[in-house]
Copies of this chain bind each other. A is one copy, B any other.
């Protein structure tokens, strides 16, 4: 492959689309071959699954396998459903086993079974399918080369030259003993640098960071990231070497995790591709809105309690968005900091009291400033000193409540082993809204004689 600059890529992409429009699959696949798999995948996601399935048979099988590995999960499954079972099985044989297992897992059981039975080398993929999609086992791939302790460095290099593994997993080489238990790790760098006559057992690192096959994939990703590893070995309960998780999987997981948190904080409980279909979007978002509707009843009930007060002093209503809005924002600020801190592991349970005190003092200080500003606005706008006092005091008190709720809610949810990103925003908003109205209208009712 020659060096291609971005402008050239754009021109090639246009030409491919033209060829697809003309149903000239041979030209299209030749042009696709000029691009890297990641860029091929981008082009693919812009054409229909029908056109994709017509283009695939013109492509080299290996190239097609590389491309499908780079497609999004949903897009890959959609395309796989369009292909005939022979083609699909052949492509699956060329894919990395962990990627093949992922794809099969996203297909219907029936279609996946058919494809598996047509595959030539389905054993490893079947094994991976048995581990959960979200576990270390579902993420691992097999190591093409394993070393033994009594090999010399030269033996190891010769072994590598013979097997010529094509994957980049060989930068870390795992050493096993006779019963296939993981005993050490040697980097390719060491093999090159160390004297050829040394024994692997003498140069290997015995302090191997490994992960159990049933560990959650997020935890595995965290380990890789934390210790800057290129590869993390996966073992069973008896420390038998099973496979390896590579660095490129980690980035995907970290990004997926962050996306999930952002979605959940934004009231979209299920992370989804942003090009999702309308029907999917409705189904995933509507239940959350209904939940919102139900929790909004709390505030509605508070307001209904004070109907009499509102009827007497309708000007009170003008300040609802200020009292509820600003404290809602303050609560959201606190919960955002807490939820992210918990997700990144920055917040330890022991330092909780310190952080709660900090949030309370933030609420207190911001409450004083905002309270005074709100009071001045009321005074200038409505020319009523007592109204200013009521609105200002209510804002002040609600901001302190917001800080406490913004801390206690996510920490409490986390203690129940639920993702705090999931329920915190809706709960904090419900609390700040209804408490805000209660404090504000409660104060107003007490001082009603001065307000009329």
Residues of A within 8 A of B (CB): 1-4, 36, 38, 157, 160-161, 164-165, 168, 170-171, 187-189, 191-193, 205-208, 225-228, 230, 247-248, 250-251, 254-255, 258-259, 261-263, 265-268, 272-278, 281-282, 285-286, 288-290, 292-293, 296-297, 299-301, 303-304, 307-308, 310-311, 314-315, 317-322, 324-326, 329-330, 332-333, 335-341, 344, 346-347, 351, 355, 358-359, 361-362, 365-366, 369-370, 373-374, 377, 426, 429, 433, 437
Contact = CB atoms under 8 A, between A and B. Distances in A.
Q: How many copies does the complex hold?
A: 2
Contact of A275 (B165, B250, B351, B433): B351
Nearest to A365: B282
Contact of A315 (B189, B304, B373): B304
B192 A189 contact: no
A40 B274 CA distance: 40
A318 B300 contact: yes
A447 B46 CA distance: 50
A3 B209 CA distance: 8
B275 A300 contact: no
In the A-B complex, list the 10 residue pairs whose CB atoms are closest, starting with the nearest: A266-B336, A274-B341, A258-B258, A299-B321, A311-B314, A304-B318, A296-B325, A228-B248, A310-B314, A307-B314
Interface of A is mostly: helix
Contacts of A267: 329, 332-333, 336
A373 B293 contact: yes
Contact of A358 (B281, B286, B300): B281
17 contacts: A164-B193, A170-B192, A225-B255, A228-B248, A247-B247, A259-B344, A262-B336, A262-B340, A265-B266, A272-B337, A289-B330, A293-B370, A299-B325, A300-B319, A307-B314, A311-B314, A314-B314
A325 to B, nearest CB: 4
Contacts of A38: 226-227
A136 to B, nearest CB: 16
A193 B263 CA distance: 46
Contacts of A362: 278, 281-282, 285
A277 to B, nearest CB: 7
Given A286-B365, A296-B321, 20 more contacts: A161-B193, A168-B230, A188-B192, A192-B192, A254-B255, A255-B258, A255-B344, A268-B333, A268-B337, A285-B362, A286-B366, A292-B329, A293-B325, A293-B377, A296-B326, A299-B325, A300-B320, A304-B315, A317-B317, A321-B437
Contact of A370 (B171, B258, B289, B319): B289
Contacts of A308: 314
Nearest to A324: B321
A310 B304 contact: no
Contacts of A426: 329
Given A297-B322, A299-B325, A36 B317 contact: no
